[in-house]
Chains A and B, each alone.
Chain A
Amino acid sequence: MRGPHDIGGEAAGPVDTSAKAPEPWHKLITALSGVLGNGLHNIICTDETRRTREALDQETYDAGYFERHTQSLADLLVEKGLLDSEALTQRMAEIEKRINKEGR
């Protein structure tokens, strides 16, 4: 089976070279991964995060760099029993409701 990451040699279209300023949540997920991971708390390791990232479905994978980093981190933490999948879904629904209502 070939993961969505293993695309060496395939046609992949032009590279987007536009510079994008990172959004606050990009920095947040990077910081969170760092705190959890190698060299700090060692609750997760780089290789584990790569595994769950490579296991993402194509659509989630293609959603973007930070999108797939976030989803794969959540998947890994659920797998380790550190995050409850239902609680996460519920919390996301609450936040979505708040955003729709209050714009934040």
Chain B
Amino acid sequence: MKLKYILPFLFLSIAFTSVAQENPFQTKNSQIEMAGKFKLDEFLSSLSFKLVGSDGKFGIEISLSEEGDHKSCLYKVTRLTSPQQTKSVRGVIYARMMKALPCNYQVKDKKLQSILNDTRLINIRYQLEPDNTISGNIEFQGLQHRKDSTF
């Protein structure tokens, strides 16, 4: 599922601000906001991700809503790139679960709960669409499971 977003180049612009006034990697000076909705395999629950952060520190918030109850967990972003410069022509967001704040989802579907609580790494690959939306792939890597989905 494709959603609109604001081009997330702030991280790279922070990284390369020492280059010049005219930052070749900066296209918009705006707050980072990037999100997507997806489902994992046969599970009915709709999941979403959202990039949060500022000042060079970012997290990916994975959330699901179940019977009016919103559950989420935060993962620390370790790599964030835009499609404009990468060799693969796809942007990347890699994240890992924080040891001090492990995820502890309590959801109705226990199989889904097991997968979510097992997840330690999130890999997102995205590309730009002509209408300024993004589409891509999100991968959940855990000690016991690996799942992926498109968004």
Partners in one complex: no
Residues on A facing B (Cβ under 8 Å): none
Residues on B facing A (Cβ under 8 Å): none
